[in-house]
Structure 1
Amino acid sequence: MTLSKKTILSAVSAEPDRYDNKALARHLGVKGADRRTLRAYLRELEDDGLIVKSSKKTYREADALPGVMVIRITKIDEHGDLIGEPESFKGEGQPPQVLVREGPTSKKSKGNKGVEMAVGGRALCRIKKRDDGTITAQVMKKLGDGPSEHLGVLYKGGRGWRIKPVSKKARDEYKPNSVPKDAENNDLVFFRSSRKNKGDLRLADILRTVGSADGAKAASLISLYENDIPMGFSDEVIEEAKSLKLPKLSGPREDLRHLALITIDPVDAKDFDDAVLAHPDDNPKNKGGWVIWVAIADVAAFVTPGSALDEAAREKGNSVYLPDRVEPMLPHELSSDLCSLRPHEDRACMAVRMVFDKKGHKVSHKFHRGLMRSHARLTYAEAQDGFMGSPGIAAEPVLDILQNLYAAYGVLKQSRAEREPLAIELPERRVHVNEAGDITAITLRERFDAHKLIEEFMVQANVAAAEALAQKNIQTIIRLHEEPGRDKLQGLVDFLPALDLKFTLSDRVTPKRFNRLLQQAGEKDLAETVGMAVLRSQSQAIYTPDGAGHFGLNLDHYAHFTSPIRRYADLIVHRALIKTFKLGDDGTTTTETSRLKEISEHISSTERRAMVAERDATDRYVAAYLEKQLDAEFDARITGVTKFGLFITLDETGADGLIPARSLGQEYFAFEEKKKALTGVNTGKTYRFGRQVRVQLKEATPVTGGLIFEMISKPEDGKPPKGNPRGKNKGSRGKRHKRKRK
């Protein structure tokens, strides 16, 4: 190999931080007097800024990544490969993307099965650069979660700059090590806590600024950033979405425009991704039976495997619905245009035709891919009026369609009652936000038969999709909801006697048994209290390619098929149906099938973070709404009991807040876990889970969504807790007072 600056750069670039002077000479075969030339070339390359020398005297290309570093997995590309980026990147622009390779890292580790990595995971990797410029990262060791980033508000007070975390769980403020030159009061900043303190405050490093906490819509911005939810789309994704056109009628795509399908959605819906139709079955062998069509937007026709749109949708996992905005999984060119089943416009669809007998049992199903045209767009209230025979302007032209839908639903209700899924009915509240981002009202969502009809039709379509693929032994992503674990159930069993209710673990746990318990609770005016307790005892539903069954719905087969606009899982199921039933050439790919477990874990995670973000944003908006009502009194219910206080939910707004235990009075209140109550150690006076109380608002913090209340209602009579917890506590308080006196 001829020694030159080019050969040196090539070696150093391919394996950064691998070679020092001597190792590089051996690698390039440099001997004798040529060693002086090598050293001279290295000095010149350093002086020219083309290479840099590390603290270990090894070389790498300038601006190149170190030879070994921590990489965080960020996504899966169209080929199913893991893509990551350096956890600590101090260069200019966006962090470089690296191709992550799993498995054994040397010949000595042939027996090693390799390291399984997933999106969000971290690993110590050896970095290499290919001739084509691709940077690869070979996993050497899987790491834990690593140092966390936090979101906070940077503000300047009397003692200088401080950072107040936006999380409700945070108790302390931080002092920044340094502040950006262009920093402004109330900037939202990401920061990382240092291990060092300055006085009483922990030091922190500001990583980046993301906006202002003063804006009216800051609540949503904070919730999205804090939960690491991607916002917006790249130029490439937008351009791809803008270039798409409605598919033509050809091949397996059928003309379904003659079907009188209609959409029924909330009044504030921006997109319509499902349409329904029902009519009596004319088959003489199925007298009294019904045919039900459910048509879903054909997202798979536009979002194809390996496309920029597909990569963005997979990374997001799902849409996120906040009080003032939606962070969509797909650009609006699809979600509210090409894939929105707007009335009287041609739209591509995936549809299932289901036949039910007169008792609501499914006889058959068949999937179709077609072109449809919605005959009407109705709100739930308008549809309900049509069901009841008093249609408004919108429902009048489709009254016959509505009457058939309602009759078919009456048949499905029979099989649903026979199946008896878990029936927890908790009030759902709607936060009304105006254009400026201010809350104008908080109301209870009305629940009509129209809601239940659409829910049941969607459940049946989801069942049909899962069964159709299972019958063909096709693996896809299913919705798994396992029966409750014994630990959570034990908490429910221990709590119920305090309400004069009982639930045993000796018999098999079924939705039917829970429903009997909920019925008994309703008779005691405890339906909401016990409903929440039962809900908390349940397992969390997940996406997975393995297993089967949905405990809550009491179904053996269940997959999400009905919302591919807002859930990536549904798009995967659509592709599986397309491939299995030969409905086009844009179905599931081999690469996608090999990554089903990885994708399932990722979208289960994005679903959880979306739920947290939605709850957090609502809490922040409600706190802003109530901030103007300090010292006002409210009716509430105790919805949680801990040793440090009572969690309460306001009846009118559904706002959640805390009553600190220390504010309950002079007496010490001990936490009784089995009773889920705080009980006075001297008098036995008690505040228990589920009780209706009157409270007063004392503090509202919009940036965190935190609400602090004081109790107005007197405690109920009871018995002092056993074991004299007062004595133990009194001793600890005494010590604390002595320290203060010193």
Structure 2
Amino acid sequence: MARRPSGPPAGPAPLPSKEELRRFLRAATGRVGKTEIARHFGLSTDQRPALRDLLRSLKEDGSVAPAGRRGVAAPGRLPEMAVVEVFGTDPDGDPLARPVSWPEGSGRPPLVLMRPERPGQPALAPGERVLARLKYIGAGRYEGRTFKRIGSAAPLRILGVYEHGRIEPTDRRQRADWTVPEHERHGAEPGEIVLAEPLPARALGPRPARVVERLGRVDDARAVSLICIHTHGIPDRFPPEALAEAEAARAVPLDGREDLRGVPLVTIDGEDARDFDDAVFAERDGDGWRVLVAIADVAHYVRPGSALDREARERGNSVYFPDRAVPMLPEALSNGWCSLKPREDRGCLFVEMRFDASGKKTGHRFGRGLMRSAARLTYEQAQAAMDAGTDPDGVPAGGMPALNGAFRALLAAREERGTLDLEMPERRVLLDEAGRVTAVVPRARLDAHRLIEEFMVAANVCAAEELERRRQPCMYRVHDQPSAEKLEGLRQFLETFSISLPPAGQVHPRSFSHALSIVRGRPEERLVHEAVLRGQSQAAYHPENIGHFGLALQRYAHFTSPIRRYADLVVHRALISGLRLGPDGLGEAEAERLPDIAEHITRTERRAAAAERDAVDRYLAAHMAHRIGNHFDARVSGVTRFGLFVTLDENGASGIVPLGSLPDDRWTEDEGGRALVGRRTGLRFTLGQAVEARLAQADPRTGSLVFHVLGGAGSPASGGGRGRGAARAAPGRGPRRRS
């Protein structure tokens, strides 16, 4: 807030109004006192009593809150020092915390982004409590720096494997075992996965716990996803009232809808897809193309304020594991009335788009319809048809060539726009009929995948544009450009490969695409792709638009997957309201809650991504457990002061090489952390370096892998030496594509 004009005063400045004082406190970064307020508003000493009365009045109506001995702050603000508890980490590994004390009825507690007080300070672990210096940074968030470590709060629940009177946690962040008194095991047998809760204990000695739920055998093939569901706190049971609402669903009537049943729309999904929420059609339109994208009408079934709506919002999104899905909606909807099954009538929201020959959009319109999918195609079937220029069974003549032609036009427009296209191979876990891992392979990246992606991106852009045009609230999918700090770190890393980036302020998505093109086909390609990915900001949901940097788009919203993403359901409701397509649109009360909803579903999306990566890591560890002692071609993918991380060429498995397993030497990180150097031997391990690695340990319970380095350019011929103990594996790579 700007100060009032300075200069020779003609007399005392007027006392600020209540609203002026509220605005000043909201803009302040923390506690302020009467002196700061008086100075800001140019008040005299004689006006102090009146200022005190004004502040007292604002305290009484809740407009300001006491802060410290004599200060005040905007309501809901944390003090400059507070006890916070770490509950997780952000994508960069920095701790996230919440205040331990937060008044009931005050909404969701603010988020504290913890920063190290000094270089080399030990990292904070989930559950740890610290007294932190806090600085308000806006949007209900604080930056925190540790002043004093207080200790760890006992976890509310412990997930682990029961073994003869003790529990071995499955969460790699919990290092201590728990003891279970005989009368508290409640029938648990050795080798069972259990949920337990802590019992009161003395300060010293093992910590006791009681078993509260038995979840199944750890050697069961379905144990991996079960562990991940509980480790990450993913809701996996629907309340009875939500199930009852889903079971009561019936077919959508044609009343008031546009009849699209004569349009040969097709769904194109993975072979293992469990729900079909989008269908596509294309045809020639003069020199350009007419494209229709139809999306399941979830809003017809999931009404605001219903039990289904409350549960879908709480889950935020579906979560997919190799052996099961945890859906956002009950199966009666997700695999039933909301799934666009072939040759069955389904309600839909659709967007009809027209593009010229160069892929530039010339117009669009939205509607609510009744459709009937002509065919359900897999990506492989669609790709074969695209390659052959023919149509698969069930697709009318010319349907697939028209889809391919429209896709090529949109692809040309995308390349002209200059988007960031990271080709990170997603790992696919193959299971046999018994649920055991047979292989972990890269998931194929076909033009058929890109076809659907381009059509969905175009539809999402239209949704954001339509809502803006009609002045409706919108749940944007936003992606900020990289921070200056991340950009500088990436710049230094790329310089080791003789790759340069433009100056700050001139970086465009095509800058990164150019860097990736330089290393295409080179040994360090994967490493550079991962570094560029880590150098980006994370996409998020927000009702305020800042654009989508990665896609080089000014406005973007998720519209195309309402079965599995709550954000898309919100966008559907906003379109229904704006286009007056029915009574089940976005209400005023829900629109006011969009900031909180956006923050919540952003967190649930990241929770789902972490759980899915965790599952792949654990499946990989189970798959690798019988290969202990085998040698693998690998590359150094991380360098730390406590060892190396390596990634196998064969399947992308990542694990740690403990410092103690390297030859006896004084190992130090070089400046920038891109190499580990032996001071005595001169041996050097650098990022991207090819090495031969021997698998030393594999723990399916935690998903951790430990390797010893055997060879590689500039590395020792043997990894013998001082092998002492195991270390935890790094989180796996290969995230799902989430634009």
**Partner Cα separation in structure 1 for residue 273 and residue 335 of structure 2:** 10
Q: Report the CA distance between 1:340 and its aligned residue.
A: 0.8
Counterpart position of 2:251: 246
TM-score normalised over the length of structure 2: 0.76
Given residue 631 of structure 1, which amino acid in structure 2 is its aligned partner?
G
Match of 1:217 among 195, 212, 222: 222
Match of 1:279 among 270, 283, 290: 283
Corresponding residue SS for 1:499 = coil
Counterpart position of 1:674: 672
Q: Report the CA distance between 1:435 and its aligned residue.
A: 3.9
Task: Please list the CA deviations of residues 158-187 of structure 1 after superposition, one character each: whole Å capped at 9, or x if unmatched.
Answer: xxx333221223433344578334333234
Verify the 8 A CA contact 1:293 1:352 in the aligned structure 2. Answer: yes
Task: Please list the CA deviations of residues 621-648 of structure 1 after superposition, one character each: whole Å capped at 9, or x if unmatched.
Answer: 1111111111111122222221112122
Q: Report the CA distance between 1:268 and its aligned residue.
A: 1.3
Task: Please list the CA deviations of residues 405-459 of structure 1 after superposition, one character each: whole Å capped at 9, or x if unmatched.
Answer: 0011111122111101102112222101234321122222122111111100000
Verify the 8 A CA contact 2:267 2:375 in the aligned structure 1. Answer: yes
Counterpart position of 1:267: 271
**Partner Cα separation in structure 2 for residue 353 and residue 156 of structure 1:** 60
Q: Report the CA distance between 1:682 and its aligned residue.
A: 2.0
Q: Report the CA distance between 1:190 and its aligned residue.
A: 3.8
**Partner Cα separation in structure 2 for residue 226 and residue 507 of structure 1:** 41
Task: Please list the CA deviations of residues 590-630 of structure 1 after superposition, one character each: whole Å capped at 9, or x if unmatched.
Answer: 11101001111110010111011111111111111111111
Given residue 458 of structure 2, which amino acid in structure 1 is its aligned partner?
Q
Counterpart position of 2:300: 301
Q: Report the CA distance between 1:690 and its aligned residue.
A: 1.6
**Partner Cα separation in structure 2 for residue 464 and residue 538 of structure 1:** 25
Report 1:199-238 matches (<5 A). Answer: 199=205, 201=206, 203-206=207-210, 208-212=212-216, 213-238=218-243
Query: 5+ unaligned residues in a row in structure 1: which ranges?
Result: 1-103, 127-136, 283-287, 719-742
Given residue 353 of structure 2, which amino acid in structure 1 is its aligned partner?
M
| Cα pair distance change 1:685/1:318, threshold 3 Å | same
Match of 1:646 among 632, 644, 647: 644
The structure that has the greater radius of gyration is 1
Corresponding residue SS for 2:620 = helix
| Cα pair distance change 1:490/1:291, threshold 3 Å | same
Counterpart position of 1:375: 374
Verify the 8 A CA contact 1:492 1:534 in the aligned structure 2. Answer: yes
Q: Report the CA distance between 1:663 and its aligned residue.
A: 0.7
**Partner Cα separation in structure 2 for residue 556 and residue 143 of structure 1:** 29
| Cα pair distance change 1:400/1:141, threshold 3 Å | closer
Counterpart position of 1:153: 160
Given residue 603 of structure 2, which amino acid in structure 1 is its aligned partner?
S
| Cα pair distance change 1:451/1:293, threshold 3 Å | same
Q: Report the CA distance between 1:139 and its aligned residue.
A: 4.9
**Partner Cα separation in structure 1 for residue 108 and residue 583 of structure 2:** 40
Counterpart position of 1:354: 353
Verify the 8 A CA contact 2:501 2:507 in the aligned structure 1. Answer: no
- Note if 1:328 corresponds to 2:320: no
**Partner Cα separation in structure 1 for residue 109 and residue 281 of structure 2:** 52
Verify the 8 A CA contact 1:105 1:139 in the aligned structure 2. Answer: no
Corresponding residue SS for 1:517 = helix
Match of 2:693 among 683, 692, 695: 695
Verify the 8 A CA contact 1:478 1:543 in the aligned structure 2. Answer: yes
Given residue 530 of structure 2, which amino acid in structure 1 is its aligned partner?
M
Report 1:395-544 matches (<5 A). Answer: 395=393, 397-506=395-504, 508-522=506-520, 524-544=522-542
Counterpart position of 2:84: none
Report 1:725-736 matches (<5 A). Answer: none
Report 1:335-350 matches (<5 A). Answer: 335-350=334-349
Given residue 663 of structure 1, which amino acid in structure 2 is its aligned partner?
S
Verify the 8 A CA contact 2:620 2:653 in the aligned structure 1. Answer: yes
Verify the 8 A CA contact 1:124 1:143 in the aligned structure 2. Answer: no
Given residue 682 of structure 2, which amino acid in structure 1 is its aligned partner?
G
Counterpart position of 1:165: 169
Match of 1:683 among 659, 672, 681: 681
| Cα pair distance change 1:711/1:194, threshold 3 Å | farther
Verify the 8 A CA contact 1:124 1:139 in the aligned structure 2. Answer: no
Q: Report the CA distance between 1:699 and its aligned residue.
A: 0.7
Corresponding residue SS for 2:520 = helix
Verify the 8 A CA contact 1:383 1:395 in the aligned structure 2. Answer: no
Match of 1:189 among 183, 190, 195: 195
Verify the 8 A CA contact 1:123 1:140 in the aligned structure 2. Answer: no
Q: Report the CA distance between 1:686 and its aligned residue.
A: 1.3
Match of 2:657 among 653, 656, 659: 659
Q: Report the CA distance between 1:504 and its aligned residue.
A: 4.9
Q: Report the CA distance between 1:515 and its aligned residue.
A: 1.0
Given residue 605 of structure 1, which amino acid in structure 2 is its aligned partner?
R
**Partner Cα separation in structure 1 for residue 109 and residue 58 of structure 2:** 12
TM-score normalised over the length of structure 1: 0.75
**Partner Cα separation in structure 1 for residue 107 and residue 467 of structure 2:** 39
Counterpart position of 1:115: 76
Comparing 445-454 with 383-392, greater Cα deviation is found at: 383-392
Task: Please list the CA deviations of residues 663-704 of structure 1 after superposition, one character each: whole Å capped at 9, or x if unmatched.
Answer: 111123212251511111123321111222221111111110
Given residue 283 of structure 2, which amino acid in structure 1 is its aligned partner?
H
**Partner Cα separation in structure 2 for residue 406 and residue 416 of structure 1:** 15
Query: 5+ unaligned residues in a row in structure 2: which ranges?
Result: 1-56, 66-73, 79-86, 88-96, 112-126, 130-152, 717-739
| Cα pair distance change 1:361/1:211, threshold 3 Å | same
Counterpart position of 2:121: none
| Cα pair distance change 1:673/1:235, threshold 3 Å | farther
Match of 1:256 among 252, 257, 260: 260
Verify the 8 A CA contact 1:657 1:706 in the aligned structure 2. Answer: yes
Corresponding residue SS for 2:271 = coil
| Cα pair distance change 1:311/1:153, threshold 3 Å | same
**Partner Cα separation in structure 2 for residue 714 and residue 197 of structure 1:** 49
Given residue 259 of structure 1, which amino acid in structure 2 is its aligned partner?
V
Cα RMSD for the two superposed structures: 2.8
Given residue 465 of structure 2, which amino acid in structure 1 is its aligned partner?
E
Task: Please list the CA deviations of residues 384-418 of structure 1 after superposition, one character each: whole Å capped at 9, or x if unmatched.
Answer: 111122658x4474351000000111111221111
Give the percent of matched residue pairs that are identical in Structure 1 and Structure 2: 43
**Partner Cα separation in structure 1 for residue 108 and residue 567 of structure 2:** 31
**Partner Cα separation in structure 1 for residue 397 and residue 693 of structure 2:** 48
Q: Report the CA distance between 1:559 and its aligned residue.
A: 0.3
**Partner Cα separation in structure 1 for residue 521 and residue 212 of structure 2:** 55
Counterpart position of 2:146: none
**Partner Cα separation in structure 2 for residue 641 and residue 153 of structure 1:** 30
| Cα pair distance change 1:207/1:654, threshold 3 Å | same
Task: Please list the CA deviations of residues 346-400 of structure 1 after superposition, one character each: whole Å capped at 9, or x if unmatched.
Answer: 11011000111111111111101000011111111111111122658x4474351
**Partner Cα separation in structure 2 for residue 278 and residue 535 of structure 1:** 33
Verify the 8 A CA contact 1:309 1:330 in the aligned structure 2. Answer: yes
Corresponding residue SS for 1:169 = coil
Verify the 8 A CA contact 1:123 1:141 in the aligned structure 2. Answer: no
Report 1:33-44 matches (<5 A). Answer: none
| Cα pair distance change 1:467/1:664, threshold 3 Å | same
Counterpart position of 2:316: 317
Corresponding residue pairs, total: 592
**Partner Cα separation in structure 2 for residue 407 and residue 138 of structure 1:** 56
Counterpart position of 1:721: none
Q: Report the CA distance between 1:560 and its aligned residue.
A: 0.3
Corresponding residue SS for 1:348 = strand
| Cα pair distance change 1:359/1:704, threshold 3 Å | same
**Partner Cα separation in structure 1 for residue 715 and residue 163 of structure 2:** 49
